């Protein structure tokens, strides 16, 4: 996969989830089987803000040439998605998220592998 393609997919996924988390945290938390409270709403909205930042980063940097800036972006997104993957799997295994959480885990796995490949390769 090309770097531009991975970054475009990342931007589109973030575009799909960021507004929902920012505007409808109760709905998305309910869909995932998570308990809703004001603290959960705050966390969901903060996560939506993080996704909005990732959206802008991925979209604006999708054409960046190889170099120090691209390497920093790739490592940032790799670590972000790896932490998201681990956290999501823990929440699923603890029963905090219902089986729909595996879809989120799969998305994190996809990006972890994708950005991990760019982190260790010369592409």
Q: Which domain holds residue 18?
A: 3-120
Quick: pLDDT tens for 43-72: 999 999 999 999 999 999 999 999 999 999
Q: Where are the alpha helices (DSSP H) in 24-63?
A: 25-31, 38-60
Give the whole-angstrom CA distance, residue 31 versus residue 43: 16
Quick: pLDDT tens for 68-105: 999 999 999 999 999 999 999 999 999 999 999 999 99
Residue that is written with structure tokens 């803000």 in the block: 49
Note the pTM of the prediction, 2 decimals: 0.91
How many domains does the chain divide into? 1
């Amino acid at each position: 996969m090309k770097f531009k393609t991975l970054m475009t997919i990342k931007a589109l996924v973030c575009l799909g989830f960021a507004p929902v988390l920012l505007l409808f945290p109760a709905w998305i938390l309910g869909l995932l089987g998570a308990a809703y409270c004001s603290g959960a709403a705050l966390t969901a909205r903060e996560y939506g803000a993080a996704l909005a930042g990732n959206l802008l980063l991925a979209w604006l940097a999708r054409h960046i040439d190889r170099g120090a800036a691209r390497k920093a972006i790739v490592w940032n997104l790799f670590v972000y998605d790896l932490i998201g993957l681990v956290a999501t799997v823990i929440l699923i295994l603890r029963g905090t998220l219902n089986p729909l959480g595996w879809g989120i885990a799969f998305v994190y796995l996809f990006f972890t592998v994708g950005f991990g490949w760019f982190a260790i390769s010369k592409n």
